[in-house]
Amino acid sequence: MPKINRYVDIDTVEREAKKDFIDRHSAFVHCPSEAKKGEKFAVTVKVGEAYTHPDDFDHYIASVTLFDGETMLAKADFVAGTLGNQKAQAEVTFNIIPMGNKLNLVAHAYCTKHGIWESDAVAVAVTE
């Protein structure tokens, strides 16, 4: 199993010194805090909030995966050049249909050079 990097695993001093490196690799989950059971629900995962990531042939974001707890809900794969071979933020919107009472959404971004980076969990209440 590859090492999974998390923003919170890095001590405060190192986090401040490397905030651009950490941000450009981290996945961020964006969605409303409530969803309706059985209805399409859009979840956007963006890699990097303030900083962009390279899109070179040997260093790029290769995939973004969305989980509900430990259950994989969706995955998007990318190839080098998807972002025009320019520094940019990979972003994908997944449309899911929640069936339970809640979602605990976590995303992974996979960088071909720096491994897997995990988002903070985002709780979503699912109503009838």
Mean pLDDT by 10 residues, the chain (128 residues): 63 66 92 97 96 92 96 96 92 96 96 93 96
Q: In angstroms, rounded to a whole number, what is the distance separating the alpha carbons of residues 25 and 89?
A: 9
Measuring CA to CA, which residue among 30, 54, 50, 52 is closest to residue 42? 30
3-state secondary structure of 2: coil
**What's the CA angle centered on 112, arms 26 and 25, to 5 degrees?**
10
Q: What is the pLDDT of residue 1?
A: 46
DSSP letter (8 states) at residue 63: E
Q: How much is the pTM?
A: 0.86
CATH classification code of 4-127: 2.60.40.730
Q: What is the pLDDT of residue 29?
A: 98
Q: According to DSSP H, which parts of the chain are helical?
A: 12-17, 19-25
Domain ranges (residues) in the chain: 4-127
Q: What is the pLDDT of residue 71?
A: 95
